Chain A
Amino acid sequence: MTSRSQARLGRSVLLHLFLTPLALVWLFPLWMMVVFSTMPDNGIFSPGIELLPHDNFLDNVANLQRDTNFIGAIGISVAVAVTYTVLSVLLTSMAGWALARYEFHGKGAVVAIIFGTITLPYAVVLIPQFIMVARDFALANTWIALIVPPLFNSLGVLFMRQAFSMMPAELFDAARVEGVKEWRIFLFVALPLARPMLAALAIILFLASWNNYLWPLLINSQPGAMTAPVALGTLIGLTKVSWGGIMAGAVMLTVPMLIVFVLLQRHFIAGIAAGAVK
């Protein structure tokens, strides 16, 4: 073996010796979430160290359901996240298409306002949004309150604008020469070409809605209208509550997303990385 490849091997071993413990530490909370969700409460609150799953998961789900209607809340969360994703993808890709493909009066101003407000903290709009939706529109504890206000997201518009402006103009001009209407060009030429970007955007939006906590906590605080994270959050800090149940809820919120993440990792990472590439 040459000294060069020996040095390479040495570096490779060092790399893995450093990265493996770090990776294990990083996985540990997720692993413990799964372990806790399978343990009875008297096992969680016992002095021994338990690192392997037990078989109490279904009992914990039942305990959780006794503490709060979690299955119902999951149903609301799924319906809201799906509706939100479809609407938001549609709205932001239409706006992105207009900004990428047409010349019109006020275009510069629209782009400047979207860019200019992108780093403003969400906290700034929270109170007026709440007053408007809860008091003026009287829509607290409805699905509309959960779906419509978060539709304003700006990153999606900028992402889709980027996607559409990278497509060659000839594609669309050819259709125009044939006399195809603009909305048909958008629906049947542009959107199919943008499929990978749409997938990335949809995943990120779905995840954002699924995990959203602060807005649903404020606006849908009635038991029957809560989303799953809000319902789970109400249990944290209570005394007579099953922690095994809370962990089972955490697993039900997290594991489906982890599976989606593993299956669609490429789109996921593209969607997140798009934030940085302007």
Chain B
Amino acid sequence: MNARLLPYVLILPVTLFLGVFFLYPFVLVAKLAFVGSEGLSLENFRDVISYWKFPISLKNTMLLAAVVVPVQLALALLMATMVNRMEKGRDLVLYIWTIPLGISDLAAGIIWLAIFEQSGFLNSMMTGLGLSDGPVNFLSYQNPGIVFLAIALAEIWRATAIMLVILVAGIGLIPKEYYEAAEVFGASPWQRFRRITLPMLRPSLQTALILRVVLAFEVFAVVAALGGTLFPVLMGEIYAYQFDLQNTNAAAALALIVLAISVVFTLIILRALRVPKGATI
């Protein structure tokens, strides 16, 4: 085989796969979003944006991402550094920390529901310890703060590991020589972390953040399990349009809005964490 052609032949299956199962459906969805009752129009977008729950679900989605992602970033960095320092049992710890990754997000939501609900584990524990007289309704419309906290906790528990694995791989790539040199010059651990680990980790951080932020805008099952109808998010509204209202066009329009938000944030992260030209590890 011609050596110049070989790479193209090798990526052909993947390209075809993406074309058929991603690009083609995407074009169809985009088309659906712009088809109104009288041909091409922005009618669907007007409909979904003017619905009274749209601003609330937009705000909730953003707020959740803004709270969850930084906490996850900090936790993942901490955990990755710890794992990296371990000599024994490194793999075991890593496996345990990544267990939540293998659990579907709905299952994760239900696990946390079992903890927080009225007859759940938290309530029985508090009653057992004599901290409360009777079961408390944590997840009720009267406590929007606690509902938010429960969702944020479940999300942090569930999805920190995805950043962790990327960062662990990234840290592993940083040459030991930098650290040795820094130690020779008397750099403290904190200085080494700030001056070596963080800058060298940029490409991994970029990937981890993009992946996590995009996933945060798609949050759905955990919210549905814990918040019910109390905490509307964009993805939940898309589901409602598609399956409750059977309005595929409006669902497609809202999906494109979520896509647009994801693209904007991806660009921001790409720009903010770009690796300067010529710089390599």
A and B held together in a complex: no
Residues of A within 8 A of B (CB): none
